[in-house]
Amino acid sequence: MLVQQLYTQCLAQGAYFISSEGEAAIIDPLRETQPYLKLLQEHNATLKYIFETHFHADFVSGHVDLANKTGAQIVYGPQAQTTYKSYVAADNETFTIGKLTIKVLHTPGHTLESSTYLLLDEQQKPHCIFSGDTLFIGDVGRPDLAIKTNLSQEDLAGMLYDSLRNKIMPLPDDVLVYPAHGAGSACGKNLSKETFDTLGNQKKTNYALSNISKQDFVKELTSGILPAPQYFAKNAALNKQGYDSFDTVMQQGNQALSVESFEQHIKKGALILDVRKATEFAQAHVPNAWFIGLEGQFAPWVGALISNLKQAIILITPEGKEEETVMRLARVGYDNCVGYLKGGIKEWIQAGKTIEKINSITADDFSKQFQTEKTTVLDVRKPGEYEAKHLADVTHKPLDFITNWQETLNKNETYYVHCAGGYRSMIAASILKSRGYKHLIDVAGGFAAIAKTNIPDDAYVITCPSGK
C-alpha cells in the first residue's frame, strides 16, 4: 500500500496518490497531469479512479484531462452533477484499488456534494480519511461556497456539524486525516500549517470536534468570514462543467513574443503581468504592468485581483520561469495567456522603450519620515492582521478588495504603502500606479520590519489582540 501526499505550497493544496497491486487512485488532482502520469509510470500502476471530494472553488482540478488521458473514472459523492462523464457514488459505497478499499462518506456542509473518502487497508482496517474541505487540521471548511443552493450558510454549517459527528468522529482515533488544504487557503479561517494529523489529536485540539453545541458551532463558523475571492465561483463552475485542455492552454501561453508583438498585445488590451521579485519590479517595469510575484502566493492573488478569467495576459518573467508561470495561471482558470516577452525586461530596455519605477524605502527610513513629518500610510493587510496591531491614524484598505476601493483615494496624495512583509504592498502599488496614482512609496519588509524600528509603542494600536 502506498499513500502519497502531493502538497502544493502556493495553493496550500494537497492531492493524493494511492496504489496497490498495480492499481491506483488519485484524489483532488491539480490541473497539470504530468506529475500524476509520472507517478503511475514509476509505480507501474494503472489509474482506476479519480476521486473528487467536492467542486473545488480555489483551483481548477485536473480530473477531466487526467480521465481523458488514462481512461480512469471520475467519482464524486452524492448530489454532484456534472456536464462531463462522471460517476456519482452513493453514501457508503465502496471501491477497490488492488487490495485496498475506499468507502464514500457523504459529509455535506462545506458544499452539498462534499464527501470524505475512508481508506481501508489490506485487512479492511480504517487507515486514513481524505477529508477534502470537510475537515482541516485545526479547522473546517467555510459554509458559504456551495453552488446554486437555496440553503443559507447557517443551514450548511448545521449540516457540517452533523456530518462531523455522524460520519467522521465515530472513526478510530488512529485514523490519519489528510485534508485538501493547509494554512494559507481561503477555504477556511484558521487552518494549521500542518498538512496531516491523527483523528484522535484533532478531537483534542480542533474546536469543530470539541464538545460544542450545534448552535455555538454554527455561530463560530459563520462569524468573521471574509468575502470569498471573486474567482472562487468561477473555478467551481469550471470544475463542474469542464474546461479547455491543459495542453492546449500551455501551448498557447508558452510563446515568446518580440517587443513589437508584445506592444501589439498591449494595444489590444492585454494585461501585462510581471512575476519577478518585488525589488526587481520596483527598479524597472513596463508602464501599466501589474506585479504579482511567483515567489508569493501567486495563483490565489491572481484569482483575487484579475476579475475576468478570459482576460488576455502577457508576461514578464525571470528567465526560465515562463512555462511555470503559464501553468500556475492555468491552475486557477486563467487560460488566456498569449505569451511572454522574449528576453524579459532587459529586451524591453535594450529596445529603448519607456520604463517606470516604484520608490521603495527601508523601514528605518520610513520610521524617520513617520516620526518627523506628516505621512499618509496605506496599510493593505487583511482585517485580522490590521486589528492585531497597526500604526495609529493609517488608511486601512485590504489588498483583497482593491477592485472596490482603488478609485477612492486621493491621486494627489503621497501614500506610504505597507503590508506584512513587502509582497502585497508591491502588488497594491503596481495596480494603483496603473490606475493613475503617481505618488506611491513602498515600505520594504512591511509591518514586520516597521515593528522593529524605533517608532514608539504609543504609535501603535491593538484593536483585537487575537487578530480575529
Asked if pLDDT for residue 424 goes beyond 80, the answer is: yes
Distances (CA, A) of 263 to 188, 338, 340, 351, 430: 41, 13, 11, 12, 19
2-234: CATH number: 3.60.15.10
Overall fold of domain 245-350: Oxidized Rhodanese; domain 1 (3.40.250)
Tell me the mean pLDDT in the region 121-137: 97
Domain ranges of the chain: 2-234, 245-350, 359-461
pLDDT in tens, 262-317: 999 999 999 999 999 999 999 999 999 999 999 999 999 999 999 999 999 999 99
pLDDT for 176 equals 98
Cα first-last separation, the chain: 42
The model carries a pTM of 0.93
pLDDT band, very low/low/confident/very high, at 466 (cuts 50, 70, 90): low
On the question of pLDDT at 398 being above 70, the answer is yes
Asked if residue 465 has pLDDT above 80, the reply is no
Express each pLDDT in 230-260 by its tens digit. 999 999 999 999 999 999 999 999 999 999 9
Q: Do domains 245-350 and 359-461 have the same CATH topology?
A: yes
pLDDT above 80: residue 467: no
Would you identify the CATH topology of the domain 359-461?
Oxidized Rhodanese; domain 1 (3.40.250)
Q: What is the pLDDT of residue 147?
A: 78
